[in-house]
Structure 1
């Protein structure tokens, strides 16, 4: 039935031998959890480092809706760790819906402006599988196709082309049909640059997600590039946008840094949860 599996396993073993597994020390939650508690919590839950800068009148509740346990984080990490029986790999690219691979497993996709750091974030999510090729360019707008990654039999992840002035010419014809017609799409992750806050193009993307009735999440990237005094107003702006102008967006915005791995472990856990691979008793999704 699965004639391709022996070839994939052989490819995996060869890549394991040829690839230098130079994994960042903060890529693994097991390593992060060995840090002093205040420090590892700041990495895993970036909002905890900002909370002290907030005015007392600000409700903290919506920033901590998804708060998994250490056990949950460890279980999620295992899903992002490859093995011979759990292969994580890039599978294909597509520019039209008739090129999109037909799969049954749950799927998540990442969209955002061309220079928001989308591919960098995906590479950090897959950092425990360095043999997975996620191309990251210094030139904004590098991603011109829909790139599909498979995480074993658990779920697939799609890196979408960036929108904005560097978007591919056929962006609308490529992306909108996918978002509207992809039946196994369980969550869209809308990335916003934390160093500049939501831009006009981001607001258009929010309107599109709302129009299509998509369950989506807003993720603020590059939080290591800006001081708390600048990041916080942008975070509050996003939170106000979610509260006042959205119906289908998850109430909690996520904060991430692809280089410092802040929030990456939490995002892995959330993806694992919304794809049905991690059951949690006390969370809203």
Structure 2
């Protein structure tokens, strides 16, 4: 479970290179990514680019570039995840029932997935530009037992959901289903899939839930740093076909991320900024 303390003043600029404290991970900001060699830089900003050379000529690369913002747009999104005197990032509250959730008007996104899929680690990476973040990522699967709400200024709210499957809370269904059904400001659900394990039965149940409730959602493949490129490409192609043939509410492009190497974190930040209405893209729209 995550806890975010009050954040100190930081000066930020729309040009995208915020001033960050030394505690921040060295790759948390695009500023540090841009000085890397091109191949390494592209792999961090657009993870699927590392797999393109292994892609069959019969498969269109554009299917994996439906959401492909520019570097400038990635930078603009980064400012949203950087605290300042006018823009605080805070832990708001936790809830175990729908009547306990906070009444917030700003757009909301939620993250859900199997226990030990790396959900809390991913959220920690997304908020890594906030130097005073106190993140608790347990080594024990299923540590998150409540709905945890984090407000990002007046821009949006991020919700960390309890993990399902192994070590899930006993009242998981009673806790999660009403939230997904009744939360009117929920604009996108991010369903996490372990890159090494692929889609599991419990994930299919979560997919069915999103489809039944007509919720727009995205499949996010985690732990890609632990997965061989061949296996990762095979999974990406499998998910593409699964989304195309067996879903109607899922975004057609699976997103690839590594909370350790920060691959795809910048792209995911930009996706969140866009779907919450805080960033208009110049090119392709969702």
Q: TM-score, normalised by structure 2?
A: 0.92
- TM-aligned CA deviation for residue 14 of structure 1: 9.4
- Structure-1 residue corresponding to 2:16: none
Distance in 2, matches of 1:202 and 1:91, equals: 28
Moved over 6 A (4+): none
What is the RMSD of the two structures over their aligned residues, measured on CA atoms? 1.8
- Structure-1 residue corresponding to 2:32: 31
Distance in 1, matches of 2:136 and 2:216, equals: 27
- Structure-2 residue corresponding to 1:267: 268
- Structure-2 residue corresponding to 1:186: 187
Distance in 1, matches of 2:8 and 2:264, equals: 30
* Residue 12 (1) aligns with residue 7 (2): yes
Question: What are the residue-to-residue correspondences of 1:121-160 with 2, within 5 Å?
Answer: 121-160=122-161
- TM-aligned CA deviation for residue 196 of structure 1: 1.2
Deviations 1:213-258 (A, max 9, x none): 0010000000000111111211111111101011111111000000
Unaligned regions of 5+ residues in structure 1, if any? 1-7
Question: What are the residue-to-residue correspondences of 1:19-98 with 2, within 5 Å?
Answer: 21-98=22-99
- TM-aligned CA deviation for residue 21 of structure 1: 4.4
Paired residues, number: 274
Distance in 2, matches of 1:217 and 1:273, equals: 13
Deviations 1:171-221 (A, max 9, x none): 000000000000100000000001111111111111110000001000000
SS in 1 for 2:166: coil
Distance in 2, matches of 1:177 and 1:37, equals: 46
SS in 2 for 1:12: coil
- TM-aligned CA deviation for residue 69 of structure 1: 0.8
* More helix by percentage: 1
- Structure-2 residue corresponding to 1:5: none
- TM-aligned CA deviation for residue 282 of structure 1: 1.5
Deviations 1:150-181 (A, max 9, x none): 10010010000001121100000000000000
Distance in 1, matches of 2:167 and 2:141, equals: 7
Deviations 1:72-116 (A, max 9, x none): 011100010001111001111100011100000000000000110
Distance in 1, matches of 2:60 and 2:276, equals: 29
Unaligned regions of 5+ residues in structure 2, if any? 11-20
Q: TM-score, normalised by structure 1?
A: 0.92
- Structure-2 residue corresponding to 1:3: none
- Structure-1 residue corresponding to 2:196: 195
Q: Is the 8 A contact 2:7 2:130 kept in 1?
A: no
- TM-aligned CA deviation for residue 12 of structure 1: 3.0
